[in-house]
Amino acid sequence: MHDDPQSAREERTISRWTRSQAAAIRRSEETLAPVVYPPAEDIDPDVHVWDTWLLRNRDGTIAEIDGYRVIFSLTAPADLLPGKRHDVATIRYFYSRDGREWTCGGPVFEESAEQRSAGSRTESGDSVPFGSRQWAGSALYDRRGGVADDDEDGQLYLYYTASGTRDETDLTYTQRLAVGSGGTIETDDDGLEISGPFDHEILLEPDGTEYEREEQSRGMIYTFRDPWFFEDPQTGETCLLFEANTPVPDPELESDRYDADPEHLDFNGSVGIAVSPSGDPTEWELESPILEGVGTNQELERPHLVVQNGRYYLFLSSHEHTFAEGLEGYDALYGFVADSLRGEYVPLNESGLVLTNPESAPFQTYSWLAYPHREEILVSSFFNYYDLRGLSLDDVAHLPDDEQQRRFGGTLAPTVRLGVDGTETRVLGVLDHGHLPLPRENLPTLFSSYRGGDGGGEY
């Protein structure tokens, strides 16, 4: 880190998502996803499934291990009330040969949050994950240093958010960025198995200057989470993006700088970045954030990048209720584009809105993940609360338990196809629930046209 953090901050470009940009957020034909209905089958009926990410190679392409692709998801037992799932989140992996049918391989770490809460803890030390539960992350299959074409030589790095601390009895919301590395992947005709032991390490904690610590937070929901591995194709630089908040110690003094009223500055979301000068996926140094939404929004969730036609598309998820007062946004995928990793980023479609739910089903999907597919971008997410008929998320918590369960999807949502043109995007169509094709695979024509057109029928 720079000796003088304040001057480091001034030297760098920190792009901003301003209030005036966000004030232009409106649903449009280009940004609207179709209504989602429950799938014929959940990816795994025994568990709620939400935030999901793909196992990727160092260059960001989707990893294929002997013909299998792998996803990781936050999960919790299906009989648990959906609103409680974050408290016991456990990372499970699923594998597939065709990107449509996924088989659950089980919890990825030896000791899951569920086992721990059931009191079956047998291990100690750093072979068990940090945190009382594990939140979102990313997964790297690193063949660097291995023998080319020999899958056995790849090394797994499973980045996650350590939420709370291992042995806490009352849940806390401390968040640190962690990794589990060293597991093995084995395959045969029947499937794929990931096994430990993993070596767990805390990689990064907030420094209090660039990145707010929990005790500095005045905001509604504190964040320092969702590590996402990224190698810059232009420079080869190895990076980790994450969701954070920017400290604003004196809102009265800083309101001009952010062009916002002092009380808006309690909403101070940012997209953080750390670099690994040696390329070692476990050695990170914090830098200034690449994007701030100070005065605009509190949670810039699961930030990640897609490089398309030499441009850097930065995507993140955010909620209706995390916009600062005076702004109206949606539960949606937001995006920004720049010519290089550190920006300057401009909001896509002027306001930043890329993909949202229909007004009649505003919470039907959340936690989007974009990846390139030839000229398009595909966007996966999870099926969240539906059939709410005007109820807010707060209202849901007051419904009888079985009604809360009935209205929660807890599985993968239909994948959405996006077309990208410079600073503009538009929804092109949808694929099936949980269909995650590789770029070399064709998209099904049945679902290729959105709202009619030549491609064959409506969704």
Sole binder of ligand FRU in the list 42, 51, 114, 266 (CB under 6 A): 51
Query: Shortest Cβ distance from residue 450 to ligand FRU (Å)?
Result: 25
Print the binding letters for residues 308-347 with ligand FRU: x by CB under 6 A, - otherwise.
----------------------------------------
Of residues 347-366, those binding ligand FRU (CB under 6 A): 366
Sole binder of ligand FRU in the list 47, 74, 291, 337 (CB under 6 A): 74
Structure tokens at 253: 């003094």
- 304 scored as a contact of ligand FRU (CB under 6 A): no
What CA–CA distances, in Å, run from 283 to 131, 178, 179? Answer: 20, 11, 11
Direct distance between the N- and C-terminal alpha carbons of the chain, in angstroms, rounded to an integer:
50
Cα–Cα dist 5/288, whole Å = 8
Structure tokens at 114: 């569920």
Query: Shortest Cβ distance from residue 83 to ligand FRU (Å)?
Result: 11
Between residues 8 and 81, which has the closer beta carbon with respect to ligand FRU?
81
Cα–Cα dist 395/188, whole Å = 47
- CB atoms inside a 10 Å sphere around CB 282: 13
Beta-carbon contacts of 323 under 8 Å, excluding residues fewer than 6 positions away, are: 22, 267, 296, 297, 329
- 135 scored as a contact of ligand FRU (CB under 6 A): yes
Sole binder of ligand FRU in the list 44, 114, 301, 331 (CB under 6 A): 301
- 138 scored as a contact of ligand FRU (CB under 6 A): no
Print the binding letters for residues 370-409 with ligand FRU: x by CB under 6 A, - otherwise.
----------------------------------------
Of residues 148-177, those binding ligand FRU (CB under 6 A): 161
Query: Shortest Cβ distance from residue 48 to ligand FRU (Å)?
Result: 10
Between residues 74 and 332, which has the closer beta carbon with respect to ligand FRU?
74
- 139 scored as a contact of ligand FRU (CB under 6 A): no
Between residues 210 and 243, which has the closer beta carbon with respect to ligand FRU?
243
Between residues 15 and 134, which has the closer beta carbon with respect to ligand FRU?
134
- 136 scored as a contact of ligand FRU (CB under 6 A): yes
Query: Shortest Cβ distance from residue 176 to ligand FRU (Å)?
Result: 12
Beta-carbon contacts of 190 under 8 Å, excluding residues fewer than 6 positions away, are: none
Between residues 137 and 154, which has the closer beta carbon with respect to ligand FRU?
137
- 298 scored as a contact of ligand FRU (CB under 6 A): no
- 89 scored as a contact of ligand FRU (CB under 6 A): yes
Sole binder of ligand FRU in the list 31, 174, 367, 411 (CB under 6 A): 367
Between residues 96 and 161, which has the closer beta carbon with respect to ligand FRU?
161
Locus of tokens 């000229």: 375
Between residues 202 and 446, which has the closer beta carbon with respect to ligand FRU?
202
> CA Rg, the chain, in Å?
21
- 92 scored as a contact of ligand FRU (CB under 6 A): no
Between residues 88 and 294, which has the closer beta carbon with respect to ligand FRU?
88
- 140 scored as a contact of ligand FRU (CB under 6 A): no
Mark residue 444 as left, alpha or beta (left: phi above 0; alpha: psi -120 to 50; beta: remaining): beta
Query: Shortest Cβ distance from residue 382 to ligand FRU (Å)?
Result: 8
- 302 scored as a contact of ligand FRU (CB under 6 A): yes
Between residues 266 and 301, which has the closer beta carbon with respect to ligand FRU?
301
| Binding-site size, ligand FRU (CB under 6 A) | 15
Print the binding letters for residues 223-252 with ligand FRU: x by CB under 6 A, - otherwise.
--xx----------------x---------
Query: Shortest Cβ distance from residue 84 to ligand FRU (Å)?
Result: 11
Binding footprint of ligand FRU on the chain (CB under 6 A): 50-51, 74, 86, 89, 135-136, 161, 225-226, 243, 301-302, 366-367
